[in-house]
Copies of this chain bind each other. A is one copy, B any other.
């Protein structure tokens, strides 16, 4: 690595920004069982405190996404100030129109107009919350869909979806964006109303510039080439955000990079090639994971580190050599240039980065030594642990 390369890579890594989801610190599980953990937050403030802890040890996770109503509070300005006092900012507002009994057959695509109204109103409420928190991004994931052929009109549901999105889009302020997420299946098991990037993209194109697509890395059919979607949406100017996690099967929501670190590297390479890593580019790099069986704060720290390692490797690709091999049609050389970067052990570089940033080079060990885990286990007794239930 030349000194110039090292400087370039370190500069990029220093500016990297990974957004943490408040809900990663609460309990989660599968339909079979939620295994509670000791020390889990009971309030939005405690979730923010945990997220701020992750930032304190990693240095690159300075914002927290909220989930409404899981993180509903009376005073968002105060919550924002609390976050600032902890050293982090509030990030994207995630709407939730899947947990009310009314949403059994859908939210904004429900055949019942009253339910649609209720769901759309919730989305509008989220924009109001954004006004209060100063959040730029409204992240929309719809669990809407059907379980049985014939259950509802596929086309009719698209009409209803388009109407709701349009109403919410019109409510956005000048600096606000709508991020539309897609997902192949679950909880709907026959049709999902936004099942793939093409559907999200087509809606976003119709809505306008403030509508962008979210790629959740666990939301695809087997065999889907995610980095292709990344490259395509970047070329179209329609990639708004990532929900990072990893999976072996379906939407497993494991720690990002745990299942296929090479895939994460390829995704990040598409990002860094066009300069989209820089926060000013406008892509939100968020985690969206479930730490069902592992300790939550260390799992988030590890996830941030996994993103950093993939990014560092992506930044190390010798683009000049790669382009030259590609242009000459040398399949093996081009592949070798990419693999050379991937095969590099970037952990020493990241340790140096952290020391440069005034951090402990080993975030997990530093966290373990910090006593934070023991403290929250002792302090957070009683009350109701946060989870997906509300």
- Chain B positions within 8 Å of A359 at CB level: none
Which residues of chain A (12-41) have a CB below 8 Å from chain B?
A: 28-33, 35-36
- Chain B, residue nearest A104 (CB): B35
Complex CA gap A276/B225 in Å reads 32
Please give the distance in Å from A105's CB to the nearest CB on chain B. 5
Q: Is A189 a contact of B248 with CB atoms below 8 Å? A: yes
Q: Is A293 a contact of B104 with CB atoms below 8 Å? A: yes
Complex CA gap A258/B153 in Å reads 17
Q: How many copies does the complex hold?
A: 4
- Chain B positions within 8 Å of A186 at CB level: 30, 32, 249-250
Q: Is A148 a contact of B231 with CB atoms below 8 Å? A: no
Cβ of A169 within 8 Å of any chain B Cβ, yes or no, is no
Q: Is B189 a contact of A223 with CB atoms below 8 Å? A: no
Please give the distance in Å from A368's CB to the nearest CB on chain B. 10
Cβ of A384 within 8 Å of any chain B Cβ, yes or no, is no
- Chain B positions within 8 Å of A331 at CB level: 105, 146-148, 151, 293-295
- Chain B, residue nearest A301 (CB): B332
Query: Which of A98, A146, A258 is the most central at the interface, judged by chain B CB atoms within 10 Å of its CB?
Result: A258
| Among candidates B189, B196, B326, B329, residue contacting A196 with C-beta atoms closer than 8 Å | B196
Cβ of A292 within 8 Å of any chain B Cβ, yes or no, is yes
- Chain B positions within 8 Å of A111 at CB level: 326-329
Complex CA gap A323/B155 in Å reads 12
In the complex, per-residue mask of A141-158: 1 if CB is within 8 Å of any chain B CB, else 0? 001001111111111101
Please give the distance in Å from A299's CB to the nearest CB on chain B. 6
- Chain B, residue nearest A105 (CB): B329
| Among candidates B33, B190, B270, residue contacting A225 with C-beta atoms closer than 8 Å | B190
Q: Is A36 a contact of B101 with CB atoms below 8 Å? A: yes
